[in-house]
Amino acid sequence: MGEQPIPAAGTTAPVETPPDESPEVAESPEVTAKATGEVPVQVAAEVSRPQPAAPPRRGKIVDTIAPRPSRRLAVPFQGRIVDVITDEVDLGTAGVVRREYVSHPGAVAVVALDDQDRVLLVRQYRHPVGAVLWELPAGLLDVDGEEPHVAAVRELVEEADVMGATWNVLADLLPTPGGSNEAIRVYLVRDLAPVPEDERHVREAEEAEMVVVPVPLEEAVQLALAGKLHNAAAVTGILAAAIGQASSWTTLRPVDAHWGFRRR
């Protein structure tokens, strides 16, 4: 086959048609619809879209304490336990913002697991939510100079009338970091023993009506996942205990493990 001539500028090259074939002509959707009775479907033209940016390289997934520059504007409320603080925070390119939050001393909670794999839950009225909740033995870090694990021992004795021999850190949490600096450490204690009757703490106020019930850990997990339990430390501690037990307690940390979010 010889070379094809190149058409001059401004002209259109002829289209050769094989002798026994005719060039196919694409009918419009409207023409096709009239012939077949079908509803025409509009086909969108292919649009060139920008490719999404590559995701950033994944580093360590770990919460990092890195406070932004801030200035204390006011303390509009000072209470016996908590304060309300107003700060001005410099977010760099995002600008300067004003934030109000609750300053909280922090707390500890205890998953007390007996030799039948039952976790001790306490029932207590909580006025802010107007509800009676099932929780772990727990309390504030409101004694100057008291170490968190010592506070946990004290709260377990006072609220559950129980002592324990084997202590570990189970989980740490910030229950409401958008509005409070409260930090909670949840401990696991095993090898339990009752506090002698004559040494038991006399509970007062809401604690006077406190009820202590041992619940199988598996049942407590189901209660948490079914939305029957709502206390953040209780749900966290129960699930963490179940995971820890399933992994032969390899998830546990020493009782004095570093706690960066604890308020001093």
Q: How far apart are CA 231 and CA 239, in angstroms?
A: 12
Cβ atoms 188, 111 nearer than 8 A? yes
Q: What are residue 63's phi and psi, to 5 degrees?
A: -65, 135
- Tokens 């939510």 correspond to what residue? 129
Active site residue 207: yes
Q: Cα 124 to chain center, whole Å?
A: 24
- Tokens 């050769």 correspond to what residue? 16
Amino acid at position 203, single letter: R
What count of residues does the chain have? Answer: 264
Interior CA angle at 145 toward 142 and 150, to 5°? 75
Q: How far apart are CA 235 and CA 243, in angstroms?
A: 12
Instruction: Determine which one of 24, 197, 207, 219 is catalytic.
Output: 207
Q: How many CA atoms lie within 13 A of 129 on its CB side?
A: 8
| DSSP secondary structure of 69-107 | PEEEEEEEEE-SS-EEEEEEEE-GGG-EEEEEEEE---E
Q: Mapped to the 3 state alphabet, what secondary structure does 196-227 carry?
A: CHHHCCCCCHHHHHCEEEEEEHHHHHHHHHCC
- Tokens 């010889």 correspond to what residue? 2
Report, as residue numbers or ranges, the catalytic residues: 207
